Amino acid sequence: MDRRLPRVGQEAKDTMQVLDQVLKTGAAGARPILRQYQLVERVRRYNPHTDEALLNRAYVYAMKAHGAQRRASGAPYFSHPLEVAAILTDLKLDDATIVAALLHDTIEDTKATRAEIAKKFGKDIGTLVEGLTKIKKLDLVSKRAEQAENLRKLLLAIADDVRVLLVKLADRLHNMRTLEWMPEDTRNRIAEETLDIYAPLAGRMGMHDMREELEDLSFRQLTPEAYRSIETRLATVRERNKHLIEEIEGELTGALAAKRIRARVRGREKKPYSIWKKMERKAIGFEQLSDIFGFRVVVGSIEECYRAVGVVHTRWPVVPGKFKDYISTPKQNDYRSIHTTIVGPGRQRVELQIRTRAMEDVAEYGIAAHALYKDSDSTPTEMLSRDSGAYAWLRHTIELLSEGSSPEEFLEHTKLELFHDQVFCFTPKGRLIALPRKATPIDFAYAIHTDVGNNAVGCKINGKVAPLVSELATGDEVEIIRGQGQTPPAAWESIVVSGKARAAIRRATRLAVRAQYTGLGRKMIERAFVRAGKPISDERMLAALSRLARASLEDVYASVGRGEMKADDVVKAVHPDWRGEHSAPAKAPRGEGWFNLSRAASLKFRIPGFGGGDEPEAPIPIRGINSDLPVRFAPKGGAVPGDRIVGILTAGEGIIIYPIQSPALKEFDDEPERWLDVRWDVDEETPQRYPSQILVIASNAPGTLAQIAQVISDHAGNIDNIRMSRRSPDFTELTIDVEVYDLKHLNAIIAQLRTKAVVSSAERVNG
């Protein structure tokens, strides 16, 4: 019996007949479909203990399930899961992952079910296939919110079992290899998605060869002219330097052998996309690139890595600043190697990567290099959580799910983590901290611990006091100076570059705003109980939580502070017999408990519901993060006494006052928690002007501006600014920032402007 034949008896013979029929109607010129015995042999090469029967059953099941289905190219659809499985055999993955690759489209595209797959192939494989089915439904290039939510689901699926990601990456790689059969708009969408998400994700998982191929395939689709140009130049350089590459390989091998270091030296050229990005990043031409070719030097041990560096640096001049030791300080994705650049044979710059065979495996296969197919009581994900820095990065990214308040924030944080290169800095005690390039001491502080970042007030870099906004470099020693009771300024969010820091700063800002609401609500409730003449205590409040439909006292206070619940409703919940009668309020000096909108205008307003009579009650201050909460007018149109007004609580800006008719308020319709009901309290004895804006369309004639200015002056208005725009040869549009005493004053000015012959129209601007 031929050992190549699958050992599944009559079923295998039936399968081969079906396969022969499928192949007869395949696409012309298509790659020969991978036979059953060929797949088994590919797995057996690296895993002699493979479960051949399991692989054969999966092959047969998938082929029958897909039946006569076709791909866009006309090839049998079954060829796709087979090619995905073949890619994963190159990564030397376990049987369950290979089987999941064979079955990954069955639930979505055939009559197969999760229950049936779990019954035939086991619960583990059933779970993997279900996870892949969910990911297949994602469309990562879509509206930003949808893209963010889908990426969130993708990473959560990966968190359950990292093998889901490995199959998905192989699936994407084969789809990119056959992209030419898809419609043009679909090709661009898939290529963009690959370049934005999947290629960086492969890189972060340490799978550099896969990342480079995904990038190049996307680059060829999205910018074909640039790709062809670089390919043409590369071919010329390759032909011109063919003998030089062989010479360098031979000379390096000989120099190392002379020092009894057995090494495999192999030349390798940069990929077109990598060349394009470097040209773009450094704004240089192709001819100015000096590292198109690099050489990998693979030796037997870590000791030989450093001995090889000594041999190379002794024999050839070193290019300053081009030495990096990723063996002593590995990258987050487990990559380890020594990089150095020398002026080598032929006076050519030669970039060398010196590593062991084990490091070479990690550099090629990344997270897949961990021996997932070996016998172990632990799950593959548990093994990776112990052994893989790349998986540690993934876990850290998943943690951001709880930090971001929206899918868009999560997308932003994740892309920051995906695309940044790294710098390595140290704490005073020698702890190594890996950070994105251009990171600041603020990023460093949050990388140590969220509390360290929140309390940071200063720093020392290499022993010298430095600004917190300084850019860190590899090798810096950073000491964070902390203060008690500090809260990070919202402005830090625009300074930091790491996703963790941004998420923590936003979260601290949200907590500070909630604390603000809570403090405000507590005082409002206390005043309501005083007005009602009813006793208040935490015990009574706790007993009423169910009637208030809140989980905690803090939720009650915050709800009242945000205006979601009335303070009187809290009194009724605690004292159901109370009917709203008020006792005489305690009086306070006029002006306390009122909020100053601006130092210039000295406008005061109060939260309604605090007056039991004509006099205001005792003060209820709103506190900001570090000081009194700032209050200002809306940027367009402002507000003047006589307008009904509303306050919008804005993180980092305080309270912004809008007139109730402002169209800008539509932006906050879905955020009722930010609305504050406010009232004017104008002191008639000391009248002051307030900002407003008028839009005037007037004739383009001499003296027009003078007439308009005269009207405003005659009515005691004050012009703060005028912007003019010519809309036609005959008319000019004037936007006038004017300060007036109140709404009546403003309307009088507008009415008088309309009487002027040179004025076509005059309207108030409501920003």
Beta strands of 146-252 (E only): which ranges?
none
Q: Which two tokens stand for residue 390?
A: 């790349």
Let me know: does 756 contact 707? Beta carbons within 8 Å.
Answer: yes
User: Hey, how many other C-beta atoms are within 10 angstroms of the C-beta on 115?
Assistant: 9
Confidence label for 606 from pLDDT (cuts 50, 70 and 90)? very low
Query: 624 pLDDT band (50/70/90 cuts)?
Result: very low
Nearest to 133 by CA among 113, 104, 155: 104
- Decide if pLDDT at 236 tops 90: no
Region of residue 674 (left: phi > 0; alpha: psi -120 to 50; beta: else): alpha
Amino acid letter, 764? R
Residue 664 to residue 134: CA distance in whole angstroms: 40
Q: Are strands 595-596 and 478-482 parallel, antiparallel or unpaired?
A: unpaired
Q: What does pTM read for this prediction?
A: 0.54
What burial letters (b/e) apply to 677-693, b meaning 16+ CB within 10 Å? ebebebeeeeeebbbbb
How far CA 153 is from CA of 105, 139, 397, in Å, comes to: 18, 11, 12
Hunting for tokens 């990096």 — which residue is that?
A: 324
More confident residue, 234 or 16: 234
Q: Which residues touch 5 (CB under 8 Å, ≥6 apart)?
A: 12, 37
* Separation between Cα atoms, residue 215 and residue 229, nearest integer Å: 16
Q: How far apart are CA 731 and CA 726, in angstroms?
A: 7
As a whole number of angstroms, the distance between CA 11 and CA 18 comes to 11
Mean pLDDT of 247-271: 89
Q: Is the pLDDT of residue 305 over 90?
A: yes
Angle of CA points 218, 223, 229, to nearest 5° = 110
Tokens of 597: 């909108």
Place 3 in a pLDDT band, splitting at 50, 70 and 90.
Answer: very low
pLDDT reading at 592 higher than 60: no
pLDDT at 233 over 70: yes
Give the pLDDT confidence score for residue 588 in this predicted structure.
34
Report the distance separating Cα 41 and Cα 59, nearest Å: 13
Is the pLDDT score of 395 beyond 70?
no
Distance CA 723, CA 288 (A): 50
Pairwise CA distance, residues 112 & 731, whole Å: 72
The answer to whether residue 461 scores a pLDDT higher than 50 is: yes
CB 274 within 8 A of CB 227: no
Question: If DSSP codes are grouped into helix, strand and coil, which group holds residue 611?
Answer: coil
Does the pLDDT value for residue 576 go beyond 90? no
> Is 104 in contact with 121 (CB distance < 8 Å)?
no
Q: In this model, does residue 217 exceed pLDDT 70?
A: yes
- Which residue type, as a one-letter code, is found at position 501? A
Mean pLDDT for the stretch of residues 453-471? 91
pLDDT greater at residue 198 or residue 751: 751
Q: 613 falls in which pLDDT band (50, 70, 90)? A: very low
What is the token pair recorded at 758?
């040179």
The whole-number pLDDT of residue 561 equals 75
Give the confidence band of 20 by pLDDT, cuts at 50, 70, 90.
Answer: low
pLDDT of residue 610 exceeding 70 = no
Query: Which has more confidence, 661 or 87?
Result: 87
- pLDDT tier, 595 (very low <50, low <70, confident <90, very high otherwise): very low
Q: How far, in whole angstroms, is CA 586 from its chain's centroid? A: 52
Cβ contact 482:455 at 8 Å = yes
Task: Tell me the average pLDDT across 111-137.
Answer: 82
- How far is C-alpha 667 from the geometric centre of its chain's CA atoms? 24
Write down the residue that tokens 């800095």 correspond to.
425
* pLDDT on residue 549: 84
How confident is the model over 417-440, as a mean pLDDT?
74
Beta strands in 553-689 (DSSP E): 595-596, 604-606, 631-633, 645-650, 654-659, 675-677, 679-680
Higher-confidence position of 284 and 723:
723
**Segment 378-391 mean pLDDT:** 49
DSSP class of residue 207 equals -
Interatomic CA distance for residues 434 and 496, integer angstroms? 14
Indicate the pairing of strand 679-680 with strand 690-699.
Answer: unpaired
Q: What is the mean pLDDT of residues 180-204?
A: 83
CB atoms within 10 A of CB 320: 7
Look at residue 767 and tell me whether its pLDDT is greater than 80. Answer: no
The more confidently predicted of residues 472 and 401 is: 472
Choose the most confident range, by mean pLDDT, from 81-95, 119-133, 339-353, 550-564: 81-95
Active site residues: 108-109
Specify the 3-state DSSP secondary structure of 180: helix
Per-residue pLDDT at 283: 79
Closest CA to 368 of 377, 376, 386, 380: 380
**For 686, how many CA atoms within 13 A lie in the half-sphere containing its CB?**
6
DSSP H helical segments within 1-143, as ranges? Answer: 9-24, 36-46, 52-66, 79-90, 95-103, 106-109, 114-121, 123-136
pLDDT-wise least confident of 336-345, 535-544, 672-681: 672-681
Cα distance between residue 733 and residue 344, in whole Å: 70
What per-residue confidence (pLDDT) applies to 258? 92
pLDDT of res. 102: 92
Cα 252 from Cα 264, distance rounded (Å): 9
Q: Which residue has the tokens 């900001």?
A: 624
pLDDT at 331 over 70: yes
Range name among 22-26, 575-579, 582-586, 588-592 with the lowest pLDDT average: 588-592
Most confident of 292-296, 344-348, 470-474, 695-699: 695-699
Spell out the domains of the chain, with CATH numbers in brackets: 9-222 (1.10.3210.10), 228-369 (3.30.460.10), 690-764 (3.30.70.260)
DSSP strand pairing (731-740 vs 338-343):
unpaired
Please report, to the nearest 10 degrees, the dihedral formed by the alpha carbons of residues 713, 717, 719, 725 taken in order: -80
Q: What is the mean pLDDT of the chain?
A: 77
At residue 294 the predicted structure's pLDDT band, cuts being 50, 70 and 90, is confident
C-alpha dist (Å) from residue 483 to 440, 443, 453, 510: 18, 17, 10, 20
Per-residue pLDDT band for 73 (boundaries 50, 70, 90) equals: confident
The full 3-state SS of 42-77, as one line of letters, equals HHHHHCCCCCHHHHHHHHHHHHHHHCCCECCCCCEC
Are 250 and 244 a contacting pair, CB within 8 Å?
Answer: no
Residue with tokens 């992952």: 97
Nearest to 255 by CA among 331, 182, 307: 307
In contact, 199 and 211? CB cutoff 8 Å:
yes
203 touches 213 (CB < 8 A): no
Which of the pair, 697 or 1, is modelled with greater confidence?
697
> In the structure encoding, which two tokens stand for residue 119, read together?
């019954």
